[in-house]
Homo-oligomer: A and B are copies of this chain.
């Protein structure tokens, strides 16, 4: 029977598909561009950044207080204060630390950030001291370098501050700023073309006629690309002609780093997209061991990937995760953040066909005691967007697991914050 049925010769596992991406996608997003710190958030670091100076550049006070010789404070307490002579005062932001030399029995009043004067090796916080005329009573002992930010303790000249491929977070920008840098070289944004196929599709905002449906998959995929720092290029919607689809894909390959085509990939009577890709390149994977999204796959044209995803929004989201995300990581030589994961009690039995990785949409909620529950959402089709808007998580059932029982503890990926009520 098998040979008589038009179908997928062989389904590819997610792992195999990722290996094939690495082998066949030769195109890279190598070019960098310089951007200001103000627009660098979320971009990918384009080259290693080394410290060109020590940070801090000098030993400086971490508190407001008195710079002292630590040994003078040994044994000091509220009942047995050490008494030191105050030589003067050092403000932050001003030179002048050289005008002081602190010797045993002496102290300099010092502000946070000011350089530690010569001879001093610790700072007594202001709240542990009391000024009495030109002397100070110290009520606490400090050890050498206590309350001192030491030269180079954050970065030393030549230290690698940022590796290539790091996705820039706020503290990375802070680290660059601490070295005086106000710009950084980042990878250019990858440009990913998106083509919808299907004569029934109408863009939102347009008039709709009988038998037509709004294209919900494309706005979703475009914003998923934006989330990854990519720039979507909209190739519009192709009708059901192989020639037209093939031309649009070629256009995408010329102008973008990759192409995503949705719809027309299922093995029905019209296997349009794989046929269109075959005309200009090579199909690498067609049919994946995933649910939903089985008909997904990819081909390669000029070393650039052409992803074939379902036209159904949820199935296309799963295909995007298992194909587009790893391919982008491969082409950009970076690693994207993962979604938060939580563990909760499954409220209902859920099954998965053996050998298939199932992406089940779930609702994650807590009861009054804060206990976390995971409720699989009932679905009839892979198009059901409301499972993502009503739910807030994904339960990924691996290939070797056939399901989980009610009451089992499962780990789920959180897509939106946990709902605090069963409601």
A residues near B, CB below 8 A?
1, 4-7, 37-38, 40-41, 55-58, 60, 62-65, 78, 91-97, 109, 111-115, 125-128, 130, 139, 145, 148-150, 153-155, 159, 161-162, 166-167, 169-183, 198-206, 208-224, 226-227, 240, 263, 266-270, 311-314, 317, 335-342, 380-386, 388-389, 414-417
Contacts and interface: CB of A to CB of B under 8 A. Distances in A.
Given A95-B211, A170-B221, A170-B224, 19 more contacts: A38-B222, A41-B223, A41-B226, A55-B214, A58-B211, A60-B213, A97-B211, A126-B267, A145-B380, A169-B388, A173-B220, A173-B223, A177-B204, A177-B218, A177-B220, A178-B214, A180-B205, A180-B214, A338-B414
A150 B217 CA distance: 18
Contact of A268 (B64, B78, B159): B64
B340 A269 contact: no
A94 B177 contact: no
B126 A93 contact: no
Contacts of A38: 219, 222-223
A96 B317 CA distance: 31
Given A92-B200, A171-B388, A381-B153, A268 B212 contact: no
Contacts of A180: 202, 204-206, 208, 214
Given A1-B139, A204-B177, A417-B338, A171 B317 contact: yes
11 contacts: A1-B78, A1-B139, A40-B223, A92-B199, A112-B266, A113-B200, A153-B381, A154-B386, A172-B388, A175-B388, A177-B214
Contact of A172 (B112, B162, B381, B389): B389
Given A41-B223, A149-B380, A270-B64, A112 B311 contact: yes
Given A269-B109, A337-B340, A178 B216 contact: yes
How many copies of this chain sit in the oligomeric assembly?
2
B62 A200 contact: no
Instruction: Name the prevailing secondary structure of the A interface residues.
Output: loop
B91 A199 contact: yes
A145 B380 CA distance: 9
Contacts of A268: 63-65, 111-112, 125-127
A331 B197 CA distance: 43
- Which of A183, A312, A386: most chain B Cβ within 10 A? A386
A213 B57 CA distance: 8
A122 to B, nearest CB: 12
A270 B113 CA distance: 13
Contact of A341 (B112, B166, B199, B340): B340
A319 to B, nearest CB: 13
Contacts of A40: 223
B415 A169 contact: yes
- Which of A177, A209, A311: most chain B Cβ within 10 A? A177
A205 B181 contact: yes
A162 B126 contact: no
Contacts of A416: 166-167, 169, 337
B383 A115 contact: no
Contact of A4 (B130, B201, B381): B130
Contact of A111 (B139, B206, B270, B417): B270
Contacts of A385: 55, 154, 171, 174-175, 178
A171 B95 contact: no
Contacts of A150: 380
A78 B4 CA distance: 11
